[in-house]
Structure 1
Amino acid sequence: MTTTRADGLPFLPGNTFKDPTKTRFHVSNTLGFKNGYAIQQRPTVGLGGERLVHNQLSEAELDELAKKMPTLTYGQAKQAPPETFVPAHLAFDKKVLKYKAYFKETVHESASEFYRVRPVDIYYYLEDDSIAVVEPAVENSGMPQGKLIKRQRLPKNDQGDNWHWKDLNLGMNVTFYGKVFRLTNCDKFTADFMESEGLILSFPESIPSDPYTQSRRQPLRSYTTPSDFDKLKKFLKLDRKVLRFYCVWDDRDAMFGEMRPFVLHYFLVDDTIEIREVHEPNDGRDPFPVLLRRQRLPIDRYDVESSFPMVVMELSDHEVKQWFNPSDFGIGKTLFIYGRRFLIYDCDNFTKNYYRTMSGIQDFTPIPVKGRAKDLSKMELPPYNGFGSLEDSKQNCLSLVPQPPKKDFIKMLENDHKILRYEARLDSVRPDDKDRRFILSYRLSDDMISIFEPPQRNSGIIGGKFLEATRISKPGSDIENPEFYGPGDFAIGSVVHIFKHRFLITNCDEYVLKVLEANADQYPVSTIESIRQKHGKSSPLKPATQDEQ
């Protein structure tokens, strides 16, 4: 209960009176929740239900208080909270200082070198003040290189101090576990970081060269070309340029001999010759493509001096007097190579252009060669015997090792899982087959048909799979070129002959109508109209009534 005193009277007993209109004296709630978080609210109603004025001070008093600084007059009431703390692993994450350095390693067991200069990279991780020393790997150096010191805090002295980034500078020596490293340079990030921290880096230094490495370096070669055309120029100019001649080996003088075709390659880059045999299907010879491997070929290998001791020594390239060169080849010329007689009858366009430029020859009329191997008779496939599919039978005849028939993968990918379902019944005179119903499924991906018979209670017939997925040919079609059933043949009321069984199509799925209408230009109009009329009377795959039969 609150009391109110009259204005101008002192706050003494007798000068106050009770307000009978105020009956609620609870304290207003100043805490609330918003989005699951507790927030503080300014009270709007005081004790007794009185409305509270937010600012009890006038504008002049508020301005005066705004200009005053109580901390200067009375001092700071409490210590200001510290700034937001950011841990080192968050502030310096992925910030690494990189220094270029080197160390000298004394060599005792070598007479050609006294010490080695080995450059390294020193990485300083600001996150935890750890240091790693890595030596860049040099190919064929013969020394184990890579990470010399793993990432860790390195001791600076015996008092327990560790190396800090404030202790590092260019042009100074640092000692890690007894090994002295000389800091020579750093990257831009390191220089900018040191500058931001107020540290001035010294001038960068260069890593001294290793004396043993310098001694192994050979001076640049000075080439003296004795003529206008040397081996190097010949290699650069004539590499991958080959003369190709078409020739035949006339071996008809021998028993069972014949004229066999060959290709002679003359490599201009090193004047070597290669002879390859031209194989034809079923020529009866082993598939050895190279008759003469690539080599320099002498015109007469046994044209040597009579004083040469051929009994105890073999012929070498030094005893050969004359080698084959491009001037020895031409259309109509006969070459004797190791006792074999080769007749050149033609060459390719590059060879013709080469001789036009180098020798001025313009006539390259090919010579007709007679007696070459006869062309094989055309292979005819035997008639289809009806076992297996027609495609498998053809593959057995085309190759000795049968390969699986090729499939239309584009059609399979486009029509994957697209199946047209039809309802059918047997068109038979047997009374047992009158009530049998079948589901005929046509797969668009491979044009195969499968038939399933739903089981019926007390029918005396075991239902289940009636026909595996297979391609069905139309009756009366040619065995060699059969015509298979397609979606356009399954009209409502049509009869399908499948392995001496007659199936009458009575209904189909609604999806069949959508597929046929989407490709109306590929299927007969009568088939689409029959399905439309059927779907206007009954639902898809609903068993047909006696009237509809």
Structure 2
Amino acid sequence: MSNQPVQGLPLMPGSSFRDPTKTAFHRSQTLGYKNGFAFKQLPKVGIGGTRINVNQLSQAELDELSNKRPTLTYGEPKQAPPSDFIPAHVTFDKKVLKFDGYFQEDVPISTEEHFRIRKVGIYYYLEDDSMSVMEPIVENSGIPQGKLIKRQRLPKNDRGDYYHWKDLNRGINITIYGKTFRIVDCDAFTETFLQSQGIELNPPEKMIFDPYTELRKMPLRMYVTPSDFDQLKQFLAFDKKVLRFYAMWDDTESMFGENRRFIIHYYLADDTVEVREVHERNNGRDPFPVLIRRQRLPKKIVENKGTFPSCVLEISDQEVLEWFTAKDFAVGKSTTLLGRKFFIYDCDEFTRQFCQDKFGITDFQPVDIKKPPPEEIKQEIPPYNGYGFLEDSLQNCFSLIPQPPRKNIIKMLENDRKVLRYAAIMESPNPDDSKRRFVLSYCLATDMISIYEPPVRNSGIIGGKYLGRTRVPKPGSSTDNPIYYEPADLTIGAMVEVFGHRFIIVDADEHVLNYMEENLNSFPAAVVQSMRDHFAPRQAAKEAVKRLAESEPDALGTLSEQLQEHMQRHNYLPDSNMQAAFLEQDKDGSGLINKAEFFALCDRFKVPVDDPIFQKLINLCSHGENQIRYASFLRAFQG
């Protein structure tokens, strides 16, 4: 920060104070460009934009002062034009001083060299006084070379001074970041520049060479006996001719090992061997086809000492006593390639022909390597535990997460809400159970059976649902092959065993007979005929009642009107449960009931059977000597 003198005080040390309100401290630009040329300009304002209070000379006065010369005898000389101002970055652009040098690096862990000489080039950039150190790249040196120190201003000492071109010369040592470099020579431009600046250069020195690098350049004395084998002739004769052998690598002895198939290629052109893996679909292995790349494989190797570093050094020709050849591969024999034992079980047709012509081998019978399939273990299904459906319990044996069994959707849609109902009694030595009546329902959509027991008052037995919907297996069926009851098994008089309880079917709905008539192919002829015989008397009675009702419709209608007027006159109202009671008394559904049962029901509902008009109605509804058509009787009550 600059100090601004307070107005009125002399500009003397100790009389200047800092202006706290000043925030700008930038300096005015003194260099400009016009039409692509640089020109100088005087500042018009001071630092931070303040006003310059000193007397400023004009450009003409400044030119006169800069060009003023002493007066000569012959008058005033002509003024020389002012010299143009050229910045340093323009003057020294792309001008670099180059010095050749080296530094010595210790090698403490090598028995062949104790130190190493590394050549470098030191570059000094005049435009900004920066330096860089570059090391030329030497082929096969094994050392990361190139830029050692990037371009920057290099510190000279601990006081903050930097290296200047005046500090550089031939035959001196410079230390950069703790590393000492010896400068031995420089190029022609550097020498001319330093001499023009008045620097006396030291004589050049010779570059010191690395002793280990010079040792490596010496040719080794090798004596190779020329071979009488013509490799070119072998290549021209057997180019693109390859022997193919199919092999198996048995790795089952190791953990997670298995039998893996491979193809061994023997190239006749250069006696190299390649082993490729045969991948199968969904084998779970990565797609790396080559197990052993194409190379010459050693068959016998010199036994080296235990200290031989085989893990880091490759086997050379001096360690190999014998290489693999084409005669070492044969069908039905095993061969060891780089520690892996391969069994050759077959080869291709070209390989057979070549081995027969070359070695006289005729036995090429392929070996069957397929292992017999393991003995199939029969899945034993545990016995049924009695919980749920049998199909649901079996799903626990087929998968870890049970899935619901498949359903016949077509059958469920075709037989939706179709139910066959049967009346049944229980077969039991207990006399109380033999009087119980049940309704057995068979659902055609799911083949399930449900049993319902109508409640009977004062019977001592709670009625209601006896068996929920479930599939009932027949006696003697097993869990492996369950056989369930079907509609063909439910006939009049048939015995149905439901989980240890026996039921005898004594009756059925007319819908059962109609369903059998519509699906005759699904039922045996004997079952259909037995159901027809069971419903024959009931059909005959209904037809007779129908004919009788058609023959006397007028008389019954007239009597019904008289009966309605008679009941209104005597304030008699029929009971609404009368029809249900008559229907319940008609066990076979024929529409006829016994006279004794009829009069008992009339007495129960207080019907005045002694009244002459009721006696006339009873006589009109009589059928035979002991039966009455209760439907006609009830129709007269309804008007």
Question: With structure 1 as the length reference, what TM-score do the two structures score?
Answer: 0.38
Larger radius of gyration: 2
Q: Taking CA–CA contacts closer than 8 Å with sequence separation of 6 or more, which of the two structures ends up with the larger relative contact order?
A: 1
The structure with the largest helix share of the pair is 2
